[in-house]
Amino acid sequence: MYAIVDIETTGGYAQANGITEIAIVLHDGEQVVDRFCTLIDPGRNIPNYISSFTGITNEMVEKAPSFENVAHRIFELLEHPVFVAHNVNFDYSFIRNQLAQSGYHLNAKKLCTVRYSRKVFPGLSSYSLGNICAHLNIPISSRHRAGGDADATVKLFELLLQKDDGSVLKSFLKKGSKEYLLPPNLPKEQFEQLPERTGVYFFHDETGKIIYVGKAINIRKRVSQHFTGNSIQEKRQDFLREIHAVSYSEFATELMALIQESIEIKQHWPKHNRAQKHLDYAFAVYQYEDRNGYIHLCVDRIRKMVKPLATFRTRLEAASQLQQLLIEFELCSKLCHLVQTDASCESTVCRGACLQQESATGYNLRAAEAMRVLSDAESFAIMGKGRLEDEASFVLVDQGRFYGMGYIQNNLQGFNLETLKELITPQKENFFIRELIDSDTLGKWGKKIKLNNS
């Protein structure tokens, strides 16, 4: 038995919206055997744009039953049959949530006619109910009303059964099938091709644009976790509707996958990635020499084409580091731009450089030492397993800054910083990558090998 369902609602997600109309058509696989349709008082205002879309107004539902009043009847109809709907997870999440609030637990098998249509009628430009019904010459009366859309879905379902020799439906409903879990627009073939290996995966919208980037130890397992459950939150419902394709890139180690994930997020700025977007270095310490020959150290926002001595997330972090160096090397607050004054900096450690009482030569020697401390960092490679037996992976750090990553043959001897640089394309460092590398004090990511330039 199949329960073909359609609902109208006050909004696009179940967490903060209610059902205004529901239609349930019971079908035994050959014909309709029962039908239930009613308006429902959602217990909240119906927005004007929803009313203009569905034709259902606040006045129409004013005397309609609440969902709680018809919950028992709805549960009776849906408890045992396969739950069928066009974009099934949307309707199911609403009804399951409303039933739960009324004390009923729905746990039905699901069948999505969007996914079923994609399999039986491949190659269409759109699988929305309106478009596929137009393509198959299925009339829809009362479009965007639960009864009219449910009746159209019944006709679509019957055509699908006629066209299908039974194998598609059987595969969709067999135990262990993940077909009903997948987003309506994601081809199952793409999901099945995902490897159970470490890497980065990408969700794309209908135009091919990347809308989410993720990292995984097991790509297929992690991708499937996005689709499990029946979340009623808006962002999840929007997210699933927008997924039309999935792609991936394999990497030998978790560290490489984490780094690539961060690089891709910064490059593509996916709409459904929230972490890392604004987590980055924004300020730096720069140096320049004035017309009197004195070296200045200053904090400024990161500028393109100008190499900084060191980078920081915030201005405060940069200024604090510069203040420590000022004290340690007895520098001038004015020449470090930590005070704004036309007179003496009045720092207790300053030797008079701000008034030119100390020579530029003497002052610059200490400033150079401070600059070395600020910018001095080692070069090293973090070595890990490769994709093949005779291969190793490496993440390269050049003078404390992430440079890039790649693969090298295990039997290659005597490699140094420059030879490793020649094997890879430089990539831009960001705060997340720096923290990832710097936080590994126990060698979790692999063997750390110090490098020199020769």
Parse the chain into domains and list their residue ranges: 2-181, 188-268, 283-375, 380-450
Report the pLDDT value the prediction gives residue 12, as an integer from 0 to 100. 74
pTM, rounded to two decimals: 0.65
36 DSSP β-pair partners: 24
Q: Write out pLDDT tens, residues 106-159.
A: 999 999 999 999 889 988 888 889 899 999 999 888 888 999 999 999 999 999
- Please give the structure tokens belonging to residue 23: 């239609």
The band of 348, judged by pLDDT with boundaries at 50, 70 and 90, is: confident
Report the pLDDT value the prediction gives residue 235, as an integer from 0 to 100. 65
- Stretch 92-114: mean pLDDT: 92
Report the pLDDT value the prediction gives residue 86, as an integer from 0 to 100. 93
Instruction: Give the residue from 403, 414, 425, 405 showing the smallest Cα distance to 452.
Output: 414
CB neighbour burial string for 40-62, b if at least 16 within 10 angstroms, e if fewer = bbbeeebeeebbeebebeeebbe
Highest mean pLDDT among 15-19, 211-215, 231-235 belongs to 211-215
Q: Of 51-60, 202-211, 233-242, 323-332, where does mean pLDDT reach its minimum?
A: 233-242
Chain center to CA of 378? 33
29 DSSP β-pair partners: none
- On the question of pLDDT at 196 being above 90, the answer is yes
User: 188-268 domain in CATH 3.55.50.30?
Assistant: no
Give the chain as a 3 state SS string: CEEEEEEEECCCCHHHCCEEEEEEEEECCCCEEEEEEEECECCCCCCHHHHHHHCCCHHHHCCCCEHHHHHHHHHHHHCCCEEEECCHHHHHHHHHHHHHHCCCCCCCCEEEHHHHHHHHCCCCCCCCHHHHHHHCCCCCCCCCCHHHHHHHHHHHHHHHHHHCCCHHHHHHHCCCCCHHHCCCCCCHHHHHCCCCCCEEEEEECCCCCEEEEEEECCHHHHHHHCCCCCCCCHHHHHHHHHCCEEEEEECCCHHHHHHHHHHHHHHHCCCCCCCCCCCCCCEEEEEEECCCCCEEEEEEECCCCCCCCEEECCHHHHHHHHHHHHHHHCCCCCCCCCCCCCCCCCCCCCCCHHHCCCCHHHHHHHHHHHHHHHHCCCCEEEEEECCCCCEEEEEEEECCEEEEEEEEECCCCCCCHHHHHCCCCCCCCCHHHHHHHHCCCCCCCCEEEECCCC
Q: Of 240-249, 273-282, 336-345, 412-421, where does mean pLDDT reach its minimum?
A: 273-282
Report the pLDDT value the prediction gives residue 453, as an integer from 0 to 100. 58
Q: Of 83-97, 235-249, 412-426, where does mean pLDDT reach its minimum?
A: 412-426
288 DSSP β-pair partners: 296
- On the question of pLDDT at 390 being above 90, the answer is no
Q: Which of 229 and 239 is assigned the larger pLDDT? A: 239
Report the pLDDT value the prediction gives residue 302, as an integer from 0 to 100. 83
The CATH fold assigned to 2-181 is Nucleotidyltransferase; domain 5 (3.30.420)
